[in-house]
Amino acid sequence: MPSSPSSLFEAYTRHLLLEQGLSANTRDAYGRDVAKLLSYLADEQVKLREVTLEHLHRFSFELCELGISPTSVARILSGVRSFFRFLVLDGFLDADPTELLESPHRPKHLPEVLTVEEVDRIEQAFDVSTSEGCRDRAMVEVLYSCGLRVSELCSLRLSDLFLEEGFLKVEGKGSKQRLVPISERAVKEIGQWMFHRHEITIRPGEEDYVFLSLRRGKHLSRITVFHNLRVAAEAAGITKNISPHTLRHTFATHLLEGGANLRAIQAMLGHERITTTEIYTHLDRSFLRAQVLEHFPRNRESD
């Protein structure tokens, strides 16, 4: 019986094909679920033989804290249960730690998740022949491609843009700063907006803000972002309850579904449980950027 996580994973995938006879799609889904768990255990420095129910509860809790829906978490845990049943069946483990593992309950109000096609439809609803349309399309793309909070978008400054390096500097809750990778699509949309931004009469003290009101010459308010996003969603024929947080939640969900590392997603979201020091202790900037380039839909499009 193999003992390393990678060899056990390979043996498990063969088991799904040869003994379970599962379809390619199901095998791929189970494989992604187990890969998430193995990545989490590696980060926590926990060996497979040492996994307890408590470890699995923490894994489930971290998935929920990322904003992943209970339905998606339940599906991931189903793959994890299958993996541990295999480990017991083949004699690697004596007991199955998932026997008492419960899936999270579905809350009454789940946050909405958009598809990539729906995000594109919202952006296409903006009239880019106008300055406001260019601004709002760039605004939506930055919210989606960078997973920003609406307050972080409104306070984003030109001095926070490191577009050639592919990063934004973001100040989140508690004045904690983080570096967030930005997609080529978002860089392009910001560039289009900059052509129009130069035409605005900007109020003193507002010169460094990225997204400005055309009429007031001040940085955008959260209410304006909410309103313009919802108007565009309605024009795109999307009936879901949309807010800027929907785009942030969609960003995290698409990264997770694409197979990104849980720690990288937490760092990019600026989650409250991760301090700035912890981010740079565990993850360097090149790793964060590699996670987005590899796993985010916008970047897979360019490939």
Query: Is-catalytic flag, 215?
Result: no
Query: Is-catalytic flag, 280?
Result: yes
> Catalytic pick from 218, 245, 282, 285?
245
Name the residue among 148, 186, 188, 187 with its Cα closest to residue 170: 148
What whole-number distance in Å separates Cα of residue 21 and Cα of residue 11?
Answer: 14
179 strand-pairing partners: 169
> Catalytic pick from 135, 137, 219, 248?
248
Query: Is-catalytic flag, 271?
Result: yes
What whole-number distance in Å separates Cα of residue 297 and Cα of residue 220?
Answer: 28
Sign of the dihedral defined by the CA atoms of residues 239, 241, 243, 249, in that order: negative
What whole-number distance in Å separates Cα of residue 200 and Cα of residue 153?
Answer: 19
Query: Is-catalytic flag, 198?
Result: no
219 three-class SS: strand
> Catalytic pick from 135, 271, 295, 298?
271
Sign of the dihedral defined by the CA atoms of residues 150, 106, 115, 60, in that order: positive
Query: Is-catalytic flag, 49?
Result: no
Residue 292 vs residues 163, 181, 268, 288, 301: alpha-carbon distances, Å:
15, 7, 9, 7, 12
Query: Is-catalytic flag, 36?
Result: no
> Catalytic pick from 27, 81, 149, 178?
149
> Catalytic pick from 14, 49, 57, 173?
173
Amino acid at 301: E
Q: Which residue numbers are catalytic? A: 149, 173, 245, 248, 271, 280
